[in-house]
Structure 1
Amino acid sequence: MADLTSASASTAAASLSTEGKLDALRQELARRGVEGFLVPRGDEHQGEYVAPSAERLAWLTGFKGSAGFACVLQEEAAIFVDGRYTLQVRHEVPESVFAPRHVSDEPLADWLDGRLKPGQRLAYDPWLHTEEQVRRLEKTTTALGASLVALDGNPIDAVWGDRPAPPKAKIRPHDLALAGRSSAEKREELGAQLAKAGIAAAVITLPDSIAWLLNVRGGDVAHSPLPLSFAVLHADGGVEWFVDPDKLTPEVTAGLGNAVAVETPERLADSLGRLGKAGAKVMVDPSTAARWTFERLRAAQAEVVAGADPCLLPKACKNAAELDGMRRAHRRDGAALSRFLHWLNAEAEPRAGTDPVSELEAAERLAAFRGATGELRDLSFDTIAGAGPNGAIVHYRVSEETNRPLGDGELFLCDSGGQYRDGTTDVTRTMAIGRPSAEMCRRFTLVLKGHIALARARFPKGTTGSQLDALARYALWQEGLDYDHGTGHGVGSYLNVHEGPQRISKLPNTVALQPGMIVSNEPGYYKTGGYGIRIENLVAVTESPKREGEERDMLAFETLTLAPIDRRLVELDLLNREEAEWLDAYHARVRAEIAPQLDAAARVWLEAATAPLGS
């Protein structure tokens, strides 16, 4: 390809193929004197959902998953994903251009060994990598005799000719009745904790933390009501909020009060510089904040204290108002999902002379049922509607190119959720289309046994999600089966559908489950080329009353999600008495809370779908 200047490359790359975009990027890297570049799927806030202007990995490679990264060298390039995306990445990314790699089986360090030569320079954008990530990268490059170089300005932006403008969605108040606590109360409490630790300020870079702290919601990214912005929380409870002032509605401005100062995002560097000049102790989260933040504070000679974002834990532990809102949202959402399942039962069964329901049609109809509630603000993520082999792609996203009919004798996996002002939902149901095979029923029941084991769990205070994870996998393990994703993630209150710091996973986690936390319960099984199974409910961590003779304070789970589990796929002989009783009790609760919201035909269907096992 002929040599291009940066400006002309930007124009030319707007309509290039994946290979052409990679060529343009390599020429830009050569112009900057570096031999390689890392392209994460993320933005300056390290969030799961990013604005179109920050979709650099998707623009370069075609990969549309929510996690992954690419490494571009002058002679080779690879894209790294986890177990959720190993099938998807091969559908979306040309392997002749980017070699797909499982990030656990062949991590970046192994791939670079022998490819990144001593003395070469691997570059990165310091806004798009956390402090912890950069430290690991520095160890990797040093071990290879190479160096890691921070670039001023992202080279992809230099060649992305039709890059969208940054978002400017309006920011609105989140009502106190839904938030449960005022912003002033939250800020003063967290500020007092900083003061007690001798810390002058904390830099907050996660938009969901800022939304929670200030009781506001935005719309800068799809599916999460986030205001993209930064904040500095001071020990006196005051906040500097670095946000585009054009986004603020009069209601937000009026409700902020004198203790919140609004500044443009460009002023963040100046604020961090002032903290350094004052010799202040400043806390920043190395796992969520960009390396740029740390470098700016160090350059200003601030005393940087590595610590978790102070909003994470209190945001995760929902108060009574937030839990009540989540229950309302799940009752509303459960009715919408039940209407959809009733429709699907009638429309998807194979019938002569009728066109089969497609994945796209199913996803659109489910969204319409949620929208008909009049309360839906957005989907909480793109609906995963996978028929047959598409269901085995854990984070499958249906498109016109991949759209598939729901075929007779197949399974249909539907993972979906809604954003409502009073709560966020996330639910997966796997349905039989026609007559399922004996293998499908057996493996569905193994997944169900794991789901029930976790739902019924009682555990001592101080227990982490990683200590509970095996409960959901045990039945599968006994038959040599497993799944490659976590069992549970935290969920926000009209915020991110994936929220930390808690999780239920094989991966070690030191954050104990606490009352008020909401997590998903979603074991699964995936047969490549065949079908996928997942059963997901959201559960809230609750205090469990102490029983006679017990010595420890115990916790348990309250199931929030209300929707039928497909009884046609349950192999009764595999369930023990306690498991069967749990499913019957759950279905009785679904009938009691959902049936009154349905019309007569849907109620009749729900009665049958939730009838006691064996009836």
Structure 2
Amino acid sequence: MLMHTHEARLDALRKELARRGLDGFVVPISDEHLSEYVGAYAQRLGWLTGFGGSAGSAAVLAHPINGKGAAMFVDGRYTLQVREQVSGELYEYKSVPDDSMGDWLAENVGEGAKIGFDPWIHTRGWAKGVAEKLKEVGAELVPVDGNPIDAVWEDQPAPSPAEAYVQDDKLAGRSSAEKRAEIAEWLGKNKLDAVVISALDSVAWTLNIRGADVDHTPVALSYLMVQSDGTADWFIAPEKVTPAVAQALGNAVRIRPRDEFSAAFAELAGKRVAADPARSVAAIFERLDEVGAEIVTKDDPTVLPKAIKNEAEQQGHRDAQERDGAAIAKFLHWLSVEAPKGGVDELSAAAQLHEFRKESDLLRDLSFDTISGAGPNGASPHYRVDEESNIPLKPNSVYLVDSGGQYPDGTTDITRTIWVGPDSPPDEVCDRFTRVLKGHIALDMQTFPPGTPGSALDTLARQHLWMAGLDYAHGTGHGVGAFLGVHEGPQRIAKGRGAQAGTDQPLMAGMILSNEPGYYKAGTYGIRIENLVLVKDVEIEGAEGKWLGFETLTFAPIDRTLVKRELLSPAEIDWWNSYHQRTRDLLAPQLEGADLAWLEAACAPL
């Protein structure tokens, strides 16, 4: 009999932990590749707790002494969502980074306790940090052989059987052989024999291969070892490799079964091997240690080249954005007609937007689950609608929709905030929207010298909110892949400093980021305006040295009914009018009839 309640699942896990002699276990949202979005088989946290966000973890004690004996750890994006989806009777709510899992475990376990973790879904750094906290109280963090959740999850899905496919070199801009030669050169410079690459987007980028094993990210479940001569071993389920894929890779890439990956480390004995501690699970380092390889910790050598888009990838993004913008315009027109009637809800709106995107016949997938947030649901920045949370778009309310598409030539991500009429929006909503807009414009227009990190620009997007004593609890910009992950490092625009935050990475020409300031009034509404931008070289008259700036990639109307014109400077009004003229020029040839008439009105000068 399947366990249908989360209380029953928690109880089953505790019994399994007790059977194994464990006093606790840690459950993250993660897979063997440390992916942000994971396949259904790896959604262990969601199965256990009901949490539907993309980042979070739980700590479960086998024998609770005081209180609940379990805790959910999420960041500011999910403060509201976790309380709606996860039982407060079963789990304490903990906020990251203020609350540390290591501290919580140390406070709640006794001397001699053994806390289990799966080394195939955690980093070595995480394990080391938690182990040190537990050691202070005489407890121990121990790796498990086989995940305890898998032992009690009776109807756990199997990993995806989808076939991998070739990403055309014309879209990739460079061949796999060129990329592997560059990695080999890097290995030579660092006197290394091989590098282990386990991040799925890094594997896909290196081989010019895509897949359908993870929702919304076109990657194939596999690992890669690249040797110093430019050859590589690709570990993937054999049935996923088509003749076309094998032919494209050629003899220099040895295709091997995915389940041989762990055993293959024996071939690295005595060799100098690079692995990225931020993108490789602890088990990879354990295996390298076991076989006697010399481990050299290095950043994944594909990360920066992958982030710096070549000319073919840049043009592909422009083409994908132009196509996507037309779908958004059709949706916004449809919404302006249907939503005020009161017959549209969050699910039907998201479904209709998906239909408009599919009209191009080039859409491969959404780039993430559409955030379709009406009224109070829009106040949760990473809200995900389902049958239980679904509410109507009420007349005279705010609606936030954050969405994106995966096309063979580019990955899109756009947020628009819309006033659902028919009456005029309240002054407070317009004030907040215009402050967010001013921050968006300030970041879009800024120029900066090479070497500038994302943290140096973040305040630009927040300044007008800060002047009113307001802020938002998420980053301002994330990197975006080229028909890969919608969230891609190492670049980021956000508060704080540090390599782990990504905000110390200098922005470089060719990088693509989001520009998405927001404002959220809990229980009432949310506002966010998001476009994607390309970092590019810019010419400034009289400038000394090189300078960088942004090229806007996303074009779709911004809701003019929410703008307080008197709060905008002449330069900001010029930006608005120029942006909408460009939007009209790009999208009008793709529209006709009522859609075109709506676009013309939406793009008229402010």
TM-score class normalised by the smaller sequence: over 0.9
Shift of 1:164: 0.9
2:168, 2:54 → 1: CA distance? 30
Shift of 1:111: 2.2
Amino acid at match of 1:562: F
Amino acid at match of 1:423: G
Is the 2:396–2:425 Cα contact (8 Å) retained in structure 1? Answer: yes
Per the alignment, residue 441 of structure 1 pairs with 430
Is the 1:130–1:291 Cα contact (8 Å) retained in structure 2? Answer: yes
Per the alignment, residue 455 of structure 1 pairs with 444
Per the alignment, residue 40 of structure 1 pairs with 28
Per the alignment, residue 188 of structure 1 pairs with 181
2:530, 2:191 → 1: CA distance? 43
- Comparing 517-526 with 132-141, greater Cα deviation is found at 132-141
1:437-586 alignment, distance < 5 Å: 437-508=426-497, 509-548=503-542, 550-586=543-579
Per the alignment, residue 52 of structure 2 pairs with 64
Aligned pairs, how many? 594
Per the alignment, residue 3 of structure 1 pairs with none
Is the 2:118–2:146 Cα contact (8 Å) retained in structure 1? Answer: yes
For the pair 1:161 / 2:173, whether they are aligned, the reply is: no
Partner deviation per Cα, 1:368-388 (whole Å, 9 max, x = no partner): 000011111111111111010
Per the alignment, residue 211 of structure 2 pairs with 218
2:102, 2:172 → 1: CA distance? 44
2:595, 2:150 → 1: CA distance? 51
Shift of 1:192: 0.7
Match of residue 319, structure 1, among 310, 317, 325 = 310
1:480 aligned counterpart, secondary structure: coil
Partner deviation per Cα, 1:216-270 (whole Å, 9 max, x = no partner): 1000011111101001011111110000110011110111111100111222223
2:38, 2:511 → 1: CA distance? 25
Per the alignment, residue 9 of structure 1 pairs with none
Partner deviation per Cα, 1:574-605 (whole Å, 9 max, x = no partner): 11111111111101100111111101211111
1:516 aligned counterpart, secondary structure: coil
For the pair 1:403 / 2:397, whether they are aligned, the reply is: no
Per the alignment, residue 38 of structure 2 pairs with 50
2:221, 2:136 → 1: CA distance? 36
2:109 aligned counterpart, secondary structure: coil
1:606, 1:280 → 2: CA distance? 61
Shift of 1:361: 1.1
For the pair 1:381 / 2:368, whether they are aligned, the reply is: yes
1:177-256 alignment, distance < 5 Å: 177-256=170-249
Is the 2:102–2:129 Cα contact (8 Å) retained in structure 1? Answer: no
1:32-431 alignment, distance < 5 Å: 32-73=20-61, 74-75=63-64, 76-276=69-269, 279-350=270-341, 355-431=342-418
Is the 1:413–1:533 Cα contact (8 Å) retained in structure 2? Answer: yes
Match of residue 599, structure 2, among 592, 606, 612 = 606
Shift of 1:69: 0.2
1:116, 1:501 → 2: CA distance? 36
2:157, 2:106 → 1: CA distance? 36
- Comparing 395-404 with 59-68, greater Cα deviation is found at 395-404
Partner deviation per Cα, 1:264-304 (whole Å, 9 max, x = no partner): 1222223212212xx11100000110000001001111110
1:63 aligned counterpart, secondary structure: coil
Is the 1:542–1:558 Cα contact (8 Å) retained in structure 2? Answer: yes
Structure 1 gap segments, 5+ residues each: 1-11
2:232, 2:317 → 1: CA distance? 28
Amino acid at match of 2:375: G
1:109, 1:224 → 2: CA distance? 31
1:112, 1:436 → 2: CA distance? 48
Is the 2:180–2:231 Cα contact (8 Å) retained in structure 1? Answer: yes
1:210, 1:538 → 2: CA distance? 24
Is the 1:409–1:437 Cα contact (8 Å) retained in structure 2? Answer: no
2:324, 2:188 → 1: CA distance? 42
Shift of 1:546: 4.0
1:444, 1:292 → 2: CA distance? 47
1:581, 1:132 → 2: CA distance? 49
1:213, 1:472 → 2: CA distance? 34
Shift of 1:405: 1.0
Give the RMSD, CA atoms, in angstroms: 1.0
TM-score normalised to the size of structure 1? 0.95
1:328, 1:114 → 2: CA distance? 54
Amino acid at match of 2:574: E
Shift of 1:139: 2.1
1:368 aligned counterpart, secondary structure: helix
What fraction of aligned residue pairs are identical, expressed as a percent?
Answer: 54
- Comparing 602-611 with 136-145, greater Cα deviation is found at 136-145
2:105, 2:151 → 1: CA distance? 25
Shift of 1:146: 1.3
1:516, 1:70 → 2: CA distance? 38
1:452, 1:463 → 2: CA distance? 19
1:567, 1:93 → 2: CA distance? 38
TM-score normalised to the size of structure 2? 0.97
